[in-house]
Amino acid sequence: MSFLGGNAADICSTRYLTPLINHDFSMPCLITAQHPAYMPLFKCFCQIALLYKEQEFGYELALKSLLLQSVFLLLPYSDRTPSAGSNPSSDKLKIVLDYVSIHYADTILVSDLAGLCYFSEYHFMRFFKKHMHMTCMQYINNVRLEKSVEQFEHGNTSILDVSLSVGFHNLSYFHRAFKKKYHMTPRSFIQKLEQFQ
């Protein structure tokens, strides 16, 4: 039992969680459907959503277990090179990512993001792709799709309402983007969630 108590928490925190929080190593920023960890992580998060929704006695223990399992699944793909601390590029990138996380439901133009970094649009697009390995619009769409999944998991089954609320103003485009990322339609995704309930 001591392994499940404070001692184990100290070991896990010291060896893995604290270095992660302190950016001594980093996890992948984006897990695509082609990533080896995608399906195991997807199953973890489906279970997490169900546990959080039902909140049965002791559900926090299962949540903690699944969250730690998610970290474990990502560890083989982490960059364990110690970071050299803050630098102008990472600071600019953080500003952009924070902006997208807040304004994902709004119309976001490349010029808006470039302005945050004091870059030209051309320079910004090259800068973003160099650091994120995708275009800024691909990143924005990924954020919007992830937000749509959160809404489906919280019981919103109106595909049109969800697509509009996360920034997709063309339903057909939302369907295509969702299917490309998750290999199923939004309706199929909702039906799979209902099977867990």
Boundary of a domain, candidates 16, 46, 77: 77
Length of the chain: 197
Helix (H, G, I), strand (E, B) or coil at 41: helix
Asked whether the beta carbons of 195 and 50 are under 8 A apart, the reply is: no
Boundary of a domain, candidates 24, 48, 77: 77
The answer as to whether 83 is a domain residue is no
Asked whether the beta carbons of 155 and 115 are under 8 A apart, the reply is: no
Residues facing residue 74 across a β-bridge:
none
Judgement on whether residues 57 and 124 belong to the same structural domain of the protein: no
Structural domain harbouring 34: 2-77
Judgement on whether residues 156 and 105 belong to the same structural domain of the protein: yes
DSSP 83: P
Q: Return the pLDDT at 7.
A: 43
| Predicted TM-score of the model (pTM) | 0.59
Q: What is the pLDDT of residues 69-118, one digit of tens each?
A: 988 888 888 776 655 555 677 788 889 999 999 999 999 999 999 999 98
Q: What is the pLDDT of residues 23-60, one digit of tens each?
A: 667 777 778 778 888 899 999 989 998 888 888 888 88
**Amino acid letter, residue 138:** Q
| Residue 132 to residue 16: CA distance in whole angstroms | 24
Judgement on whether residues 97 and 38 belong to the same structural domain of the protein: no
Boundary of a domain, candidates 44, 77, 110: 77
Element (H, E) at 9: helix 6-12
